[in-house]
Amino acid sequence: MLQHFVEHYLLWLAEAVLAAWPRRRPTRAQLERTLIVAHRGARDDVHVKENTLAAFDLAVQAGVRAIEFDIRYTADDEPVVVHDADLSRVFGRPERIDELTWPALRACAPELPHLAEIIERYGDRAHLMIELKTRGSTRAETRMHEQLAGLTAGDDYHILALDPALFDAVADLPANARVPVAKSNWRAIRAWSRRHDCGGIAGPYLFIRRADIRASQRHNRLIGSGFVSRRGLLEREIGRGIPWIFTNQPVALQHMLEQARARSRRM
């Protein structure tokens, strides 16, 4: 908990500095290709819980074109959308996801969605950034693939993972659909992405260097920066050539992006 607080504070401080730093305005082309990614939806974790239909609805209705969410598996091998291994932090209950059947989980936490609900509701309205949190049984992972069968990997969705070993669960998908995600281990994840075919890389804006951006452009890979919340940093990251902007403030950033696009079209 203390480490999380320190990391959050350092990123907040760095964003405050970088947002005020003199910068070149993003080009019209850069603005037009930018994708705001709603990290677990548009939530405040008080009135609107993360990774729920309510959170994703708010983002998509505001024009956000990509949503990020997490996948775990129930005791009866159903892929469900939830970040934590248990219900305590978000839903105030002690049960573990992998110890409940899907009907029991739905009874305990009615707001927690099944992957099928997400695909049905947003599959043709938003790009899906699906983060794997754990491996499942063969049956569970088959169920995940069955749900995704109507979408095109790399075009309609990407698979994300903090641990690249989790990509073994989607080894049959095109390499460009797999995106490793870094936290403070940017060097290790960067090294992995250089040794393996993948669709790009994502991580904290503080660690992304110009050389990383040039490498992604050279190899026709995408790169994502997170977590951005201020206009100045948003424009900085877009201007650096980063097309994916992950954020916990998706509605506000989408509005900022649309304002910047409108300005560029008038120029």
Does 2 have pLDDT greater than 90?
A: no
User: Residue 40 and residue 70: Cα distance in Å, rounded?
Assistant: 8
**Which carries the bigger pLDDT value, residue 45 or residue 16?**
45
Residue at token pair 């992604």: 216
* Per-residue pLDDT tens digits for 19-34: 666 567 899 999 999 9
What local confidence, expressed as pLDDT, does residue 99 receive?
98
What are the DSSP E strand ranges found in the chain?
A: 35-39, 66-73, 79-81, 127-132, 157-161, 178-180, 200-204, 222-226, 244-247
What local confidence, expressed as pLDDT, does residue 142 receive?
98
pLDDT band at 45 (very low <50, low <70, confident <90, very high): confident
User: Residue 132 and residue 162: Cα distance in Å, rounded?
Assistant: 8
Tell which residue, 212, 213, 219, has the closest CA to residue 197.
Answer: 219
pLDDT band at 12 (very low <50, low <70, confident <90, very high): low
* Per-residue pLDDT tens digits for 65-111: 999 999 999 999 999 999 999 999 999 999 999 999 999 999 999 99
What is the distance between the terminal CA atoms of the chain, rounded to a whole angstrom?
A: 47
CATH of region 24-266: 3.20.20.190
User: Residue 168 and residue 196: Cα distance in Å, rounded?
Assistant: 13
**Which carries the bigger pLDDT value, residue 4 or residue 204?**
204
Mean pLDDT for 12-22 is: 65
Tell which residue, 240, 245, 202, has the closest CA to residue 221.
Answer: 202
Structural domain boundaries in the chain: 24-266
Does 129 have pLDDT greater than 80?
A: yes
**Which carries the bigger pLDDT value, residue 9 or residue 165?**
165
Does 190 have pLDDT greater than 60?
A: yes
User: Residue 25 and residue 224: Cα distance in Å, rounded?
Assistant: 19
Mean pLDDT for 182-211 is: 97
User: Residue 59 and residue 42: Cα distance in Å, rounded?
Assistant: 5
Q: Which two tokens stand for residue 71?
A: 């996948």
- Mean pLDDT of all residues belonging to the chain: 94
